[in-house]
Structure 1
Amino acid sequence: MKIRARRLACQALLLLLVVGSASAKTITCVPAASTDTPYPHWVRRISIDESSQTVNMDIVRFRTKDSETMGKLKGELVSATDAQFGEPIYVFNTIPAAGVEVTNLFKLFKSLDDWRLIGAGVTFVGKTPALRAIESSAVFNCKRSATG
Structure 2
Amino acid sequence: MNPKSAKIALKAFFVLSTGSAFAGTITCTPAPAGAGPASWIRRIAIDDHSRTVNMDVVRHRTKEADTMGKIRADLLGIEEAPGGEPAYVFNAIAADGAEVTHLFRLHKAGEWRLASAGVVFVGKVPTLRTIEPGKVFDCKRSELG
Q: TM above 0.5, one fold? A: yes
Larger radius of gyration: 1
| Number of residue-to-residue matches in the alignment | 131
Distance 1:43 1:18, change over 3 A: closer
Would you say 1:141 and 2:138 are equivalent positions? yes
Runs of 5+ unmatched residues, structure 1? 1-14
Runs of 5+ unmatched residues, structure 2? 1-11
Aligned ranges 1:1-148 → 2 under 5 Å: 16=13, 19-20=16-17, 24-37=23-36, 39-112=37-110, 114-147=111-144
How far does residue 128 in structure 1 lie from its aligned partner after superposition? 1.1
- Tell me how far apart the structure 2 counterparts of residues 141 and 65 of structure 1 sit (CA, whole Å): 26
How far does residue 100 in structure 1 lie from its aligned partner after superposition? 1.9
1:59–1:71 Cα contact (<8 Å) kept: yes
- Deviating 4+ runs (over 3 angstroms): 15-19
1:84–1:109 Cα contact (<8 Å) kept: no
- Tell me how far apart the structure 2 counterparts of residues 59 and 116 of structure 1 sit (CA, whole Å): 17
What's the Cα RMSD here?
A: 1.9
1:83–1:89 Cα contact (<8 Å) kept: yes
- Tell me how far apart the structure 1 counterparts of residues 17 and 38 of structure 2 sit (CA, whole Å): 37
1:77–1:91 Cα contact (<8 Å) kept: yes
2:27–2:140 Cα contact (<8 Å) kept: yes
- Tell me how far apart the structure 1 counterparts of residues 32 and 84 of structure 2 sit (CA, whole Å): 24
How far does residue 146 in structure 1 lie from its aligned partner after superposition? 2.6
- Tell me how far apart the structure 2 counterparts of residues 91 and 17 of structure 1 sit (CA, whole Å): 22
2:15–2:144 Cα contact (<8 Å) kept: no
- Tell me how far apart the structure 2 counterparts of residues 93 and 142 of structure 1 sit (CA, whole Å): 19
- Taking structure 2 as the reference length, what is the TM-score of the superposition? 0.83
